[in-house]
Structure 1
Amino acid sequence: MSLNALIDRLDLHGHIDSFNGFLSRHKPLFIEGDQERHFNYIEALDKLSFNAPPKVDSFHIIKAHLKKQGIMRFEQIFEIIKVVRYFRSLKNNGYEGIIGEWLKKIEIPERFGEEVESYFDLEGNFNEELDEELYGLGQRIKAIKDDINASMRRLLYHSKLSSYLVDTQIHYVNNEECLLVRGGFNHVLKGQVVGRTGAGFFYVVPDALSKNREQIRVVETMREVKFYEYAKRFSKVLSELLPFISFIDKEFDRFDHYQARVTFARAKSLSIIKAERSREIRLVGFEHPALHKPKPVNVDFSKSVLMVTGVNAGGKTMLLKAILSAAVMAKYLIPMKVNKHKSVIGNFKRFEAVIDDPQNVKNDISTFAGRMQQFAQLFSQNEALVGVDEIELGTDSDEAAALFNVILDDLIAKGQKIVVTTHHKRLAALMADRDDVELMAAIYDEEHRQPTYEFLQGIIGKSYAFETALRYGISNAVVERAKKVYGENHEKLNLLIERGSELERALKAKNALLDEKLAEVEAEERRLKEQREQLALNLEAERAKLKASYAASIAIAKEAARLTDAKAIHKKMNEANIALPKQEPIRKNERYDFKVGDNVKYRSAKGTIISLKEKEAMIEVEGMRLRVRRDELRPSGKPPKKRPKTEVHHKIERRGSLRLDIHGLRAEEAEEKMDKFLSDALIDGWNEVVIYHGIGTGKLSYAVKRFLKAHPKVKSFEDAPQNMGGFGAKVVRL
């Protein structure tokens, strides 16, 4: 399937058109070369600040003319100059990393700058002051035009002509100066009528100015000859520099691919995720760009077939489109709304979307026959990602179940990965026990009688055809009769399916609760383990301390044993006794019956009990409240001394400012400055401030964005307007 047809069927045209608006010039979505390498460059560029490139025309015609030694127009030459100047500005930013290394390889020939680029200003106009003859011709034209204006002014105030003039203005028709006059003017004014108004007035070019106009035409011809000589000279230089032009054209296309993805993702708050070298698809928080307020899609599609069943109008088709859309955008590195850190998207060679009804008057084919043609084409491919919407479309359900069961078997054997939506409970039941098939059901809200647009994996869903009919206006009597025709056995089957769904949902809820409890138990287990390890370390330290104390005492005692003088022995034994560790007296675990308001002693401080629990108490000690263990409290007969009450009055002075300049600071210093600056601004009541960080290498700009995103009081921020610093500053809203 062609990419355009695929984009159309997946409702991605609006998203892709929006992305194309960020490209400097139109090009295919696919970036030639290694996608892994391209993704690394895109990630590196996303960390830098840069200006978007100018809009540039394709070099295809330009290069073809240069190969044939053709003469280029100034407009074509300036297209090349715009690209060269943009790369020069990027090189001047002094980027580091892989972007900096890449830009260093782009060497601009000095000859291009001296012999071509220097003759054009920023707007692409030829700088005539660099050529004395051209400048003189321009001055001559200006002088002739001044003479024309002066002559026209004299005519405007000529007494004989005044009665024929409609107004006293000089008008321009076909870039020629003329007067607006009434009929009968030819008695006093000779000239050529170049226009007429609806009111019957005439635009007349006086014959007296024909000589001046002829002079201008002659001078303009001389200028054109001179410009042609320059165009010829420039074209010769560019022909000799054709290898460089081809090289920089290719590099500009590559950079344009990168910058468009980065700027599009920044503008729309999207993520760029690359296709992995696998066949797994796991989406977390994906939102299809065609939906206004979509519910995020979370799906694990690691098996060969994903079969989606359930309620009508419950979002099955959009789920199918979401899976294929995410895979397509990952392959082409198009930004999308997804949790890039938790999602995995495999890489597929081809994509097929069997979504629309193939029946058409022009091709004289039935729905089922058209579907068979589409499936026949799938057998000629390998390793494709296929989406089939309503696989049973157009034929008997029982026969279709057997047929599609075998068709899916063969497609799986050819390496296809298939997403299927179906109302066939029989087909789903036939494939439910297979290890390579994943079931998913659209959920229906029985209480509110409407789909939830959410999905549950591992079950077969009920279609809720009767409930959907009621929701869209079919009378209750008709639906009740339909239920009788449908039969009790089928209804019981549906009830069993729904009961299974309810049990599955309840089980998943219980599992989630158990996972939460298990996480708490594991956290407590880790805490106890850490506490046990710390106690073991403390015990080992105490043992070492005791060993050292006893060793010191034994050494002193041995020294005393070698002495003969009784007085010296006594002295040494006293030293040994002092060196032994002191045994603290064991206190009885007394239990006091305290009440709120009792005066107690806690260690060396005295206080009053504020509140009591079984093992803890809250006491007030010298104006401070402490939570302590009850067994550490002792009765105290005297009440604690009351400290004099001190009142503190403070006045906050405005310290904040509306602007902060952090040019030249390191990231850590800048974050410290910004933290204090934003705190002061919040205290002073500012709701919008400006931070100037400059452009530089982009590191400081990246640090500023990272800090502002993490700050809890920052509502939003954006690049400042051009007159306030542009990309070198951020406007922060608090």
Structure 2
Amino acid sequence: MNDKILKTLEFDKIIAEMEAYASSSLGVNKVKALKPSANFEEVVKRQEETDEAANVLRLKGHAPLSGIFDIKPHIKRAQIGGVLNAVELVQTASTIHASRMMKNFIDDLLENEVDIPVLEKKATSMADLSPLERQIKHAVDENGDVLDSASDMLRNIRQSRRRNESRIREKLESLIRSRNAQKMLSDAIVTIRNDRYVIPVKQEYRSHYNGIVHDQSSSGQTLFIEPQAVVELNNELKELQMKEKQEIDRILAELSAEVALGSEELLIIVHIMAELDFIFAKARYGKVMKGSSPKINQDGVIRLNKARHPLLPIDEVVANDVILGTDFSTIVITGPNTGGKTIALKTVGLCTLMGQAGLHIPAMEDSEIAVFKEVFADIGDEQSIEQSLSTFSSHMVNIVDILQKVDHESLVLFDELGSGTDPQEGAALAISILDDVYQRGARMIATTHYPELKAYGYNRPGVTNASVEFDIETLRPTYKLLIGVPGRSNAFEISRRLGLSDSVITHAKSMIDSESNEVEQMIASLEESRRKAERDYEEAQENLENTEKLQKDLQQQLIEFNERKEELYEKAKEKAAKLIEKAKTEAEEVMKELRQLRFDNGAQVKEHKLIEARRRLDTALPKQEKGIAKAVNNKQKRMYKPGDEVKVTTFGQKGHLVENIGGQDWQVQIGIMKMKVNEKDLEFIKSEQKKETKPLATIKGRDYHVSLELDLRGERYEAALAKVEKYIDDALLANYPRVSIIHGKGTGALRTGVTEYLKQHRSVKRIRLGETGEGGSGVTIVEFK
């Protein structure tokens, strides 16, 4: 894709913003070089990289990427025998250290079973050069100074130098403290000229201090003299300084040779760390932008959910749904200027380019983009003064170039197609261009304000109309894209709102032909139908989500019930076995006593003794629990009727009887679900009580399903607390004994706010953090009174 298209769709601005999220010059250079790819496998690979980095940032919040330097020039110079300076060696050691920290970081993620195959492969490609890092750090400090510990010889030389400097200072200080020093010296200090220690002597007392003159002041009144008494010591110091430099050069040369030996591994480390910095820069930018990973296809299908223009403020931009390449391959957006048509056009193009570049796109989850071989765009006023071209001519030059290259693997974006010339001719030309691109099989979105193109989508299969919504009440565009509804003129409504008299408006309407009026009325009807369909869809979606949550909760409760049932069944069997065993033992005792009585008294056994023995046999039999018997009798005798509140024993859930569907089978309403249940699985609670009916939209009774958990992750602080307050009320209405609030770990601010609110709630009995199997400190468990 050429640079002109990238600039037209403002992809270059995306790159400029993303540079700030790279941690090194290596990462910045890779960001600057980023271009969309037209290769499907390459795009999928890029998205996988970004997904893994985004997952790591979600789990850890950061990645250790500080201390990376572009040391490729240092490595190449070491390879040809050059000597690196201390700063270059420090940068080399720092880059090695950064690679080691990154390897340890990724190893830790792998130990925690985080699935990051791409990052794992890159980390394992980097060699461990810790010995070279330690060797450099042992010899050079972070400021680039060679340490005394670099070698024993260097330590000895520096010790001798310090002793020599001390002796020189002692001699010179004795001179400046002498009785005549205040008179003969310009200042009582010891200074350095030409790397030799000197004192400042007044010109007239030069002969008093026998020695070498190294410098003089600008006025010539002060001479900087090296006294003869320290000349020899200064010579020794100079010699020690030369030896020190020679030893430092030897140490640096030795370390440079070590760098040369590990040059191949170092170049791999630099390459991998640059890639990792670049990958995490993409992920950081996507996180700040609140983007998501799109699905990738080769079928020319674009499906964007709540897509936003990434260069506009998140809290101001209007998100739109866009579908292209399924039932239709062309969208024609009509409507007045300043309505948001161009923004919608650029959003689609920019999301496509970002996705093909491996970036997350500013849209909700489950969005989808296609990989196009080329993206073409004719957007904005490209009037060329240099070429003496008008706006229309400039656009036409660009369109001609597009028509020469477009094919079925292209995405084409036209803004205000056919504008800048006679309306009738411009509309005809726009229709002809749209037909040409459509017949080539390209995916296309075009904007126009020509009314003739409103009928374009109705006359051609595979083409649909769209418009941007306009609020007549506020006289402002809403920037909401309406696919399937052509734009209509709002001139009469706007004029009436602004105070134009009805007579003028009526006269104006009379001059418009009936067909145009019918078209406008049809469009208005379509807009209303669209809004109603959207409301119905949102309501159906909410009901579907509630149903899925209820199903999930019921399944969980059924699993828990079955587990509990098995446990109770085993306990009951054990208890019954013990009772039977006890009864047998008691019966044996009774029989034994009867035999003994018969033996002792012959056949003469008194009646009261037989009655007592019979009573003991009766008491030896296990007795049925009264409550159970009562419940069974109630169940057998109960005549159910619609409206009765019952408990479905197989699920442990309460509900209401709707109707008898034959024999002992009833339709039972549990929350928003209806199911068939046999009477043997029902337990009566109470009959329906007649009460004043209220609109369903204003109350939430037992039929309203409330989830057992509230997920606050990603919510803002104030919005989260508002949701908690509403959720606690709903949970109390649903008679839940306990619920879970998921707030995540993060900084702990949201958890603290939730905890403080719950502590003050009069219906909360106890709160605690979740255990290991419940989500740990990212979940708060709430028990009600």
Kindly tell me: are residues 220 and 414 of structure 1, through their superposed partners in 2, closer, same or farther at Cα, counting changes over 3 Å? farther
Kindly tell me: are residues 373 and 268 of structure 1, through their superposed partners in 2, closer, same or farther at Cα, counting changes over 3 Å? closer
Question: Counterparts of 1:172 and 1:156 in 2: how far apart (Å)?
Answer: 15
Aligned residues: 568
Kindly tell me: are residues 430 and 518 of structure 1, through their superposed partners in 2, closer, same or farther at Cα, counting changes over 3 Å? closer
1:254 matched residue in structure 2: 275
1:502 matched residue in structure 2: 524
Kindly tell me: are residues 201 and 390 of structure 1, through their superposed partners in 2, closer, same or farther at Cα, counting changes over 3 Å? farther
1:234 matched residue in structure 2: 255
Is residue 288 of structure 1 aligned with residue 309 of structure 2?
A: yes
Kindly tell me: are residues 402 and 285 of structure 1, through their superposed partners in 2, closer, same or farther at Cα, counting changes over 3 Å? same
2:444 matched residue in structure 1: 418
Structure 1 contact 275–327 (Cα < 8 Å) conserved: no
Structure 1 contact 161–185 (Cα < 8 Å) conserved: no
1:29 matched residue in structure 2: 34
Structure 1 contact 311–451 (Cα < 8 Å) conserved: no
Kindly tell me: are residues 467 and 680 of structure 1, through their superposed partners in 2, closer, same or farther at Cα, counting changes over 3 Å? closer
Is residue 329 of structure 1 aligned with residue 349 of structure 2?
A: no
Of 142, 150, 154, which aligns to 1:130?
A: 150
1:391 matched residue in structure 2: 417
Is residue 682 of structure 1 aligned with residue 707 of structure 2?
A: no
Partner of 2:389, secondary structure, is: coil
Residue correspondence of structure 1 range 162-561 to structure 2 within 5 A: 207=226, 218-266=239-287, 269-273=290-294, 275-292=296-313, 293-302=316-325, 303-339=328-364, 341-378=365-402, 379-382=404-407, 383-462=409-488, 464=490, 488-490=510-512, 496-515=518-537
Partner of 2:21, secondary structure, is: coil
Kindly tell me: are residues 590 and 233 of structure 1, through their superposed partners in 2, closer, same or farther at Cα, counting changes over 3 Å? closer
What TM-score do the two structures reach when normalised by structure 2? 0.59
Question: Counterparts of 1:7 and 1:712 in 2: how far apart (Å)?
Answer: 51
Residue 474 of structure 2 aligns to which amino acid in structure 1?
H
The structural deviation recorded for 1:320 is: 1.4
Question: Counterparts of 2:525 and 2:340 in 1: how far apart (Å)?
Answer: 22
Note the aligned Cα RMSD (angstroms): 5.4
> Deviations along 1:56-96, whole A, 9 cap, x unmatched?
44344345435544443343344333232222123334331
1:89 matched residue in structure 2: 101
Kindly tell me: are residues 460 and 152 of structure 1, through their superposed partners in 2, closer, same or farther at Cα, counting changes over 3 Å? farther
Question: Counterparts of 2:776 and 2:36 in 1: how far apart (Å)?
Answer: 33
Residue 296 of structure 1 aligns to which amino acid in structure 2?
A
Kindly tell me: are residues 710 and 227 of structure 1, through their superposed partners in 2, closer, same or farther at Cα, counting changes over 3 Å? same
Residue 9 of structure 2 aligns to which amino acid in structure 1?
L
Residue 51 of structure 2 aligns to which amino acid in structure 1?
E
> Deviations along 1:366-417, whole A, 9 cap, x unmatched?
2222222212221224423232222223222222222232323333344432
2:48 matched residue in structure 1: 40
Structure 2 contact 417–448 (Cα < 8 Å) conserved: yes
Residue 502 of structure 1 aligns to which amino acid in structure 2?
A
Question: Counterparts of 1:585 and 1:364 in 2: how far apart (Å)?
Answer: 95
Question: Counterparts of 1:235 and 1:588 in 2: how far apart (Å)?
Answer: 96
> Deviations along 1:416-474, whole A, 9 cap, x unmatched?
32222211222342344323223221111111212122221112213557889999xxx
Structure 1 contact 301–438 (Cα < 8 Å) conserved: no
Structure 2 contact 416–448 (Cα < 8 Å) conserved: yes
Partner of 1:285, secondary structure, is: strand
Kindly tell me: are residues 706 and 245 of structure 1, through their superposed partners in 2, closer, same or farther at Cα, counting changes over 3 Å? farther
Question: Counterparts of 1:310 and 1:525 in 2: how far apart (Å)?
Answer: 40
Query: How much identity, in percent, do the aligned residues show?
Result: 17
2:709 matched residue in structure 1: none
Structure 1 contact 304–436 (Cα < 8 Å) conserved: yes
Residue 260 of structure 1 aligns to which amino acid in structure 2?
A
Residue 153 of structure 2 aligns to which amino acid in structure 1?
E
Structure 1: stretches of 5+ with no match in the other structure: 535-580, 592-625, 633-667, 687-702, 714-734
Question: Counterparts of 1:453 and 1:67 in 2: how far apart (Å)?
Answer: 60
Structure 1 stretch 143-152 or stretch 185-194: which is displaced more?
185-194
Structure 1 contact 177–205 (Cα < 8 Å) conserved: no
Structure 1 stretch 20-29 or stretch 506-515: which is displaced more?
506-515
Partner of 1:364, secondary structure, is: coil
Question: Counterparts of 2:45 and 2:5 in 1: how far apart (Å)?
Answer: 26
Question: Counterparts of 1:467 and 1:520 in 2: how far apart (Å)?
Answer: 35
The structural deviation recorded for 1:344 is: 1.2
Partner of 1:52, secondary structure, is: coil
Of 98, 103, 128, which aligns to 2:123?
A: 103
2:576 matched residue in structure 1: none
Partner of 2:99, secondary structure, is: helix
Question: Counterparts of 1:330 and 1:390 in 2: how far apart (Å)?
Answer: 26
Structure 1 contact 12–289 (Cα < 8 Å) conserved: no
Residue 103 of structure 1 aligns to which amino acid in structure 2?
A
The structural deviation recorded for 1:257 is: 1.9
Kindly tell me: are residues 406 and 461 of structure 1, through their superposed partners in 2, closer, same or farther at Cα, counting changes over 3 Å? same
Question: Counterparts of 2:501 and 2:636 in 1: how far apart (Å)?
Answer: 88
Question: Counterparts of 2:163 and 2:492 in 1: how far apart (Å)?
Answer: 88
Kindly tell me: are residues 330 and 151 of structure 1, through their superposed partners in 2, closer, same or farther at Cα, counting changes over 3 Å? farther
Question: Counterparts of 2:195 and 2:775 in 1: how far apart (Å)?
Answer: 56
1:629 matched residue in structure 2: 687
